[in-house]
Chains A and B, each alone.
Chain A
Amino acid sequence: MATNSALMGFVHRRRRGAELFLLILALLVGIGAYAAVGLGVEGEVPTNLIGYGGWLTLLVVAAHLAVRKVAPYADPVLLPVVAALNGLGLAIIHRLDLAKETGLASQQLTWMTLGVALFIGTLIVLPDHRLLARFTYTSGLAAIALLILPMLPVLGTEINGARIWISVGPFSFQPGEIAKMLLVITFAGYLVVHRDALALAGRRVLFLDLPRGRDLGPILMMWVVSLGILVLQRDLGSSLLFFGLFLVMLYVATERPGWLVVGGLLFFGGAAAAYRLFGHVQNRVDIWLDPFADPDGTGYQLVQALYGFAWGGLVGRGLGEGMPERVPYAESDFILAAIGEELGLTAVMAVLLLYGLVVERALRAALISRDGFGKLVATGLAAVFALQIFVVIGGVTRLIPLTGLTTPFLSYGGSSLVANWVIIAILIRISDQARRPLPDLNEAHDDPDDQATQIVKVIPG
């Protein structure tokens, strides 16, 4: 935890101006896409462009002002990148709305408003990310409680074969999205206290230093319980996500590469077992291996997505010119297929780069963070983000078998959007703390013995 920035002899600038500049470009990306959709589908600029653009601008400016006020040293790239992704996602959902005559985009805009409000709220309530370390076990418990919620009889609802939703009134919510953030905090809080014991104490089995049961036990239990719940709910994507998250954080905290080997073996073992035990896993793998075996039945979604990518080519059909509505769930899991069809490989690569930038900035915040907890939380959040993107985009592009997860910030889905805005708020908080110049302590207490005794005025109480 050496103070890197101090050693290298520079302080980070605030860069709020750069952030504002990037935000204006991000708004251009979001509103431009909306206008282009109107032009492509209806042949004219949409009539509510001013209202829509004004609302988007208001949200972005509010977020920017909050960052300026309460996190002045925060990373200048994170907020614009997620604002651009969110704006692009809204436009694509709107484009699918026009094709399918649904009203998802306005709902998504409501969720985005809530997300930005929570983003600002998190930044204000959380002046220092280390406060989260107090809630190590509380958040672990809360995560497990949230994961169990959908299995309760009244609250939980089953949508598309996975029981991962709770519905309260007209709203349905996916508690797993919040749980992943809470689990990162739990793992980080536990590992930062116990990592020496985990890394040093214990015995060596073959090539691996196994930690003692009582060091690893609590966190292992937490992880097994959450993973077990997800397997019972048949939420493959999230189980994969939590498994990878646990492994990455353990590896980063203990610096033992052996964990990756053990984790890799466990993963292949678990995957093989899941393939044998669960019919729907076999289904997914079969579709992945040969989607054209049943192009009108099980393979329909993936085949349509692949056709979409192919038809889109390098620069796409143009917004409103393609047929992305042919892909089932194009607005949620398969939103990248819609982007690939209408905007082509060029835009898909831009989107991937933007995701890469988010992960890079999160890891950068982890590198320069001065406290172990901040480092671990930032790494964990970066890992969650990267894994989620890999799993969902890999699935859509037929690199790996498809598992249902939302594409962060792009997909339609309130819980995911809100949770991701809070994740970005925590990352911005960590980067703000990390980039803030160190207070000058050299002069203050040099050597207490050298200082002359002073007469201090006592203020009568």
Chain B
Amino acid sequence: MSELTLFLVRIAYLAILWIFVLSAISVIRSDMFGARVPAPAGPGKQPKPPKKAPTPRRGQPTQVSVVQGVNTGITADLANAPVLIGRGNDAAIRLDDDYVSTRHARIVSSGGQWYVEDLGSTNGTYIGSQRLTQPVPVGLGSQIRIGKTIVELRK
């Protein structure tokens, strides 16, 4: 095997290696820009424009209010979600309840559904007799018990 052949083999192999690297990069590049927009399905069947988002749909809660406890009557607008409930100053619903933690729970929206989520409070957040361990969907009128206070979603 002559020196020259071996040199050519070496260069050819390095070329293959780099061709592979560059092709992989070019696949990534086309993956970034080449993803196509889903084609509009003909003139007759235009996808429905999204519903007017600002006007809340029927049956959707718009605010959360305290219905029982020391702070009865406090409300917060769900438009400012996530709504933080607790004893701390930064809470959207600030409760003067000794059994409530500084950051007790919060109400968040995901996919059009409202969820209440316990933030690791000392005394827990309850729906009925059930202590929350994970975000739980809540609807209109579900009573969420936080310390000695009851909060619910309203229109």
Q: Which residue numbers of A lie inside 8 Å of B, CB to CB? A: 9-13, 15, 18, 21-22, 25-26, 28-29, 32-33, 36, 39-40, 43-44, 76-77, 80-81, 84, 88, 193-194, 196-197, 200-201, 212, 214-215, 315-316, 318-321, 343-344, 346-347, 350, 353-354, 357, 360-361, 437, 442-443, 446-447, 449
Q: Kindly specify which of B11-19, B66-74, B124-132 makes contact with the partner chain.
A: B11-19
B42 interface residue (CB < 8 Å to A): no
B23 interface residue (CB < 8 Å to A): yes
Which residue of A12, A18, A28, A215 contacts B35 across the interface (Cβ within 8 Å)?
Answer: A12
Which residue of B23, B37, B51 contacts A22 across the interface (Cβ within 8 Å)?
Answer: B23
Q: How far is the CA of A200 from the CA of B34 in the complex (A)?
A: 40
With both beta carbons as reference points, the residue of chain B lying nearest to A21 in the complex is identified as B23
Asked whether, in the complex, the Cβ of B20 is within 8 Å of the Cβ of A22, the reply is yes
Asked whether, in the complex, the Cβ of B24 is within 8 Å of the Cβ of A350, the reply is no
A residues less than 8 Å from B16 (CB atoms): 25, 28-29, 32
B79 interface residue (CB < 8 Å to A): no
Instruction: Report if A13-B24 is in contact (Cβ < 8 Å); known contacts: A43-B1, A343-B10.
Output: no
B28 interface residue (CB < 8 Å to A): yes
Bin chain B's interface residue count.
35 or more
* Number of residue pairs spanning A and B whose beta carbons lie under 8 angstroms apart: 128
Instruction: Report if A353-B21 is in contact (Cβ < 8 Å); known contacts: A77-B27, A442-B48.
Output: yes
Q: Provide 25 A-B residue pairs closer than 8 Å at the C-beta atoms, listed in order of the A residue.
A: A10-B35, A11-B35, A13-B35, A15-B31, A22-B20, A26-B20, A29-B20, A36-B9, A39-B9, A44-B1, A77-B27, A193-B134, A196-B117, A196-B120, A201-B120, A212-B120, A315-B11, A315-B14, A320-B6, A346-B18, A347-B17, A350-B18, A357-B28, A360-B28, A361-B28
B residues less than 8 Å from A344 (CB atoms): 14
Asked whether, in the complex, the Cβ of B58 is within 8 Å of the Cβ of A449, the reply is yes
Residues facing A in B22-55 (CB within 8 A) are: 23-25, 27-28, 30-31, 34-38, 47-48, 51
Asked whether, in the complex, the Cβ of A36 is within 8 Å of the Cβ of B28, the reply is no
Asked whether, in the complex, the Cβ of B21 is within 8 Å of the Cβ of A350, the reply is yes
User: A215 CB to closest chain B CB, in angstroms?
Assistant: 6
Q: How far is the CA of A58 from the CA of B36 in the complex (A)?
A: 33
B65 interface residue (CB < 8 Å to A): no
Q: How far is the CA of A68 from the CA of B24 in the complex (A)?
A: 18
B residues less than 8 Å from A77 (CB atoms): 24, 27-28, 31
Which residue of B36, B59, B103 contacts A201 across the interface (Cβ within 8 Å)?
Answer: B103
Which residue of B6, B35, B120 contacts A40 across the interface (Cβ within 8 Å)?
Answer: B6
